[in-house]
Amino acid sequence: MLCLLRARAATAARARGYSAAAAAAAQPTFANQDKLPRLPVPALEATVTRYLRSVQPLLAADEYARAERAAAAFVAADGLGPELQRRLQEADGRAAHSWLEEIWLNKAYLEWRDPSYINVNWFATMADNPDYAAEAAEVEAGRVSQAQVARAARFVTHMLETNEALNAQQLAPDTQRGEPLCMNQFRWQFGTSRVAAPGRDAIVGQYPSTARHVLLMYRGQTVAVPVYSAAGQRASLAQITAQLAEGVRRVDALPQLAPSVANLTAGHRDAWAAARQALARDATNRASLATVDAALFGVCLDAGHPAPLSMEERMAVFAHADAGANRWFDKAIQLVFLSDATMGVNCEHTPVDALTTARLLLGAAAKESGPYKDTRPCRDLAPPEPLAWTVDGDVARAIDAVRTDARALAANLRLRFGDAPLFGAQWIKAAAGASPDAFFQVALQAAYYAHHGQPAATYESASLRRFKHGRTETIRACTAETLAFSRAFADRDLPLQKKLRLFQQAVAAHLGLSRAAANGQGVDRHLLGLRAQIRDPDEAARAALFQDPAFARSSSFVLSTSNVTPGDRFRGAFAPVVPDGYGVCYALDKDDIKFGVADWLSSSATDAPGLRQSIYDTLAQLHEATTYAKEHGLM
């Protein structure tokens, strides 16, 4: 099978003007997998020491003393910590690739019972493409536009090319500073879906991903759109354009729209699991569910949104589409196209981290402008077919209930975006002499402190892909050093030189935490692995560190943050992870900084517009202070 796939990919490469020799010379996608080290199990005492350092800025003196006592009891010879560490090391010995892989997949995602819609799925807007512009009359009429379909077809074509390259292992493996990175996540990009099940969901996928169709979502209806012939030949761009247009036409021609089963994917996971089990009792529904799950990815054509949309309005559409309409949120990748041919994505986070999917999206986006040398049409391309569903009264009522709940959740999400064009990564490195990421994280701590008058437990995602089957670790970005700087920066009476010295110390502390996390020496994943070894309530009660209030406080991440550079072509966002928290995405482009702040309107403790302004003010003040200090030899 692999040889056949490689042959097909080589044929496709020749059709696009590439030589088969050049394609064959590329390093295979998974060539470096055997070179990767296993994720280590950190030393228990080292992790607990790092943990105590991370909670100190969040606690009063008496609270910290209590946390120290709980930690000491946990790691003592008669404490539970050493036994949990022994069990985790045994689990590491049994694991095929990583002790963390299954624990993280289950605890962070599959066992999550609240809606993955908004809470787990991430969303992004892609850069506009001037080659595709809808006529104003088409957009105002609230129908699918020709430009919308044309851009969708072009982007779909390039995503199919990417999948073919991945199937044939012709997607170049990622490296970082000369080190290979794990490519396992790329096996779960195409043809992958989350499947609701009672208590714990499942992930279904196939690699190589050889499905012949994509899933079209239009007017809340599900349509299987073949993009390959039965023999496996990819349709031409002209054919894919016609297929999408025909899918739209067939939905519009339906005498009556069926209840949107897709809405159920926005619901509570156990409620969706029950509804899915009820649906699966019918043979037609089972076939439709299998078709949806197997689809290479989703293509959502939205109509009726007013144009032009603000950034906040556009992102809201990509996040929740007006209470979950016209999306199948369990698909790993959904491409979303609006009537004016603007584009975004909504992706299910469980199998894959956002930046790995972003590589595929940015690769497709890089090819979607300019002329395209179309391939020859394939023969025997089946027409698109709206999927049939048999919906009984109980499932219909479940759909209505999900719509109500999803509308409330969507209305609760507030999104605010900012652009700081004064400086970007190039200036930060040259003038401030700092890592751009550490610079922004320290600035964010100061901005939060200035606005709220206190520090916040902070999560920043760090990649573990230098290890086999690595996902992410937490950088606990709120430190004693960032708190000292934040307090000093807010004090007008302190000399600038002292503030900058504290700033440099905070940046250095952040860099140290970032390196430790990337090397598998963080806090949160090890503690999660230890907690997963607890066998019963009696043991849970003995786990002193986890029973101490400091643990819950320090792992309730009021600031959940992620660096999603580059922001000029791909601007991501996500919801807060706690009720009184923020989700902060940022991109550190060469000459500017782009960021987004999300919070819940139901929270009286958060204020996304206010925090956005504080970030603006802090960045401007840091720029002014650093520039002055540089010019006057103060740093």
Any domain includes 67: no
Note whether residue 381 is domain-resident.
yes
Measured CA to CA, the distance from residue 499 to residue 624 in angstroms comes to 13
Structure tokens at 76: 């003592």
Long-range contacts of 278-283 (CB under 8 A, 24+ apart): 278/392, 278/394, 278/395, 279/389, 279/390, 279/391, 279/395, 282/390
How many residues are there in the chain? 635
Residues 402 and 428 in one domain: no
- Residue 105 counted as domain residue: no
Question: What pLDDT score does 140 carry?
Answer: 81
Residue 177: exposure state from Cβ atoms within 10 A (0-12, 13-18, ≥19):
exposed
Give me the helix-helix angle, 44-55 and 81-94, nearest 10°.
Answer: 120
> 480 and 506 in one domain?
yes
For residues 156 and 289, membership in a common domain is answered with yes
Overall domain count for the chain = 2
Same domain, 288 and 393: yes
pLDDT band at 402 (very low <50, low <70, confident <90, very high): very high
Q: Which residues of 119-130 are buried (b: 16+ CB within 10 A; e: fewer)?
A: ebbbbbbbbebe
Question: Which residues does residue 221 pair with via DSSP β-bridges, in sequence order?
Answer: 218
Does 318 map to a domain?
Answer: yes
Has residue 57 got a pLDDT over 70?
yes
The answer to which of 232-236, 430-434, 532-536 has the lowest mean pLDDT is 430-434
299-339 pLDDT, tens digit per residue, is 999 987 777 889 999 999 999 987 888 999 999 999 999 99
CATH of the domain at 289: 3.30.559.70
Instruction: Please list the residues that pair with 458 across neighbouring strands.
Output: 559
Angle among Cα 384, 386, 387 to the nearest 5 degrees reads: 120
**390 and 488 fall within a common domain:** no
Please indicate, yes or no, whether residues 520 and 598 belong to a single structural domain of this protein: yes
Helix (H, G, I), strand (E, B) or coil at 617: helix
Question: 265 with 405, same domain?
Answer: yes
Q: Is 224 exposed, middle or buried (0-12, 13-18, 19+ CB in 10 A)?
A: buried
Whether residues 485 and 586 fall in one domain: yes
Are 85 and 529 spatial neighbours (Cβ–Cβ below 8 Å)? no
Cis bond before residue 208 (omega within 30° of 0): yes
Q: Quick one: pLDDT at residue 11? A: 32
What local confidence, expressed as pLDDT, does residue 134 receive?
Answer: 86
Q: How far apart are the first and last CA of the chain?
A: 61
Q: What's residue 307's pLDDT? A: 73
Helix axes 524-531 and 44-55, enclosed angle (nearest 10): 120
Residue 26, pLDDT score: 75
- pLDDT score of 504: 96
Helix locations, 346-495, DSSP H? 354-367, 393-412, 425-427, 436-452, 480-490
Residue 289 in any domain: the answer is yes
The CA dihedral of 521, 586, 409, 103, to the nearest 10 degrees, is: -20
The single-letter DSSP state of residue 428 is I
State whether 518 and 626 are in the same domain. yes
Q: Please say which residue of 369, 390, 413 terminates a domain.
A: 413
Domain span including residue 282: 117-413
Look at residues 389, 413, 437 and tell me which one is the last residue of a structural domain: 413
**Are 202 and 110 contacting, i.e. CB atoms less than 8 angstroms apart?**
yes
Percent of the chain with pLDDT over 90: 90
Q: What is the pLDDT of residues 476-520, one digit of tens each?
A: 999 999 999 999 999 999 999 999 999 999 999 999 999 999 999
Please say whether the dihedral angle defined by the alpha carbons of residues 130, 136, 142 and 143, taken in this order, is positive or negative.
Answer: negative
Residue 270 lies in a domain: yes
Structure tokens at 401: 């209930």
More confident residue, 4 or 287: 287
CATH assignment of the domain containing 518:
3.30.559.10
HSE-CB of 189 using CA atoms within 13 angstroms:
25
The two three-digit tokens of residue 423, written as one number: 């400086």
Q: Which secondary-structure segment (H or E) carries 292?
A: helix 283-294
What is the average per-residue pLDDT within 213-228? 98
User: Do 464 and 528 have their domain in common?
Assistant: yes
How far apart CA 154 and CA 623 sit, in angstroms, is 42
Judge if 207 and 281 occupy the same domain: yes
Q: Which of 125-139, 539-553, 612-626 has the lowest mean pLDDT?
A: 125-139
CA angle (209 as vertex; 386, 117 as ends), nearest 5: 60
- At 411-468, the pLDDT tens digits run 999 999 999 999 999 999 999 999 999 999 999 999 999 999 999 999 999 999 999 9
Residues 163 and 248 in one domain: yes
Any domain includes 98: no
| Mean pLDDT within 49-63 | 98
pLDDT in tens, 1-10: 333 333 333 3
pLDDT at 50: 98
How confident is the model over 466-479, as pLDDT tens digits? Answer: 999 999 999 999 99
Using one digit for the tens of pLDDT, what is the confidence trace for 104-117?
Answer: 999 999 999 999 99
> How much of the chain is in helix, strand and coil states, percent to nearest 5?
50, 15, 35
Q: Is residue 491, in this structure, part of any structural domain at all?
A: yes
DSSP 264: G
What confidence score (pLDDT) does residue 12 get?
A: 37
Mapped to the 3 state alphabet, what secondary structure does 182-194 carry?
Answer: CCHHHHHCCCCEE
pTM, rounded to two decimals = 0.94
Give the residue from 236, 300, 238 showing the smallest Cα distance to 265: 300
Q: What is the mean predicted confidence (pLDDT) over 272-278?
A: 98
Residues linked to residue 460 through DSSP beta bridges, in sequence order: 475, 561
> Which of residues 413, 432, 465 is at a domain's end?
413
Burial 205-216 (b: 16+ CB within 10 A, else e): beebbbbbbbbb
The reported pLDDT for the residue numbered 455 is: 98
SS3 state at 592: coil
Is the pLDDT at 606 greater than 80? The verdict is yes
Mean of the per-residue pLDDT values of the chain: 94
- Provide the percentage of residues in the chain whose pLDDT is more than 70: 96
- Residue 355's alpha-carbon distances to 123, 300, 331, 565, 635, in angstroms, are 12, 21, 17, 9, 34
- Picking from 192, 205, 220, 196, the residue whose alpha carbon sits closest to that of residue 279 is 196
Name the residue among 172, 175, 150 with its Cα closest to residue 162.
Answer: 172
**Taking Cα atoms as reference points, which of 339, 216, 303 lies closest to residue 227?**
216
Q: Kindly tell me if the per-residue pLDDT of 586 is higher than 90.
A: yes
Query: Which residue stretches of 548-603 are H helix?
Result: 549-554
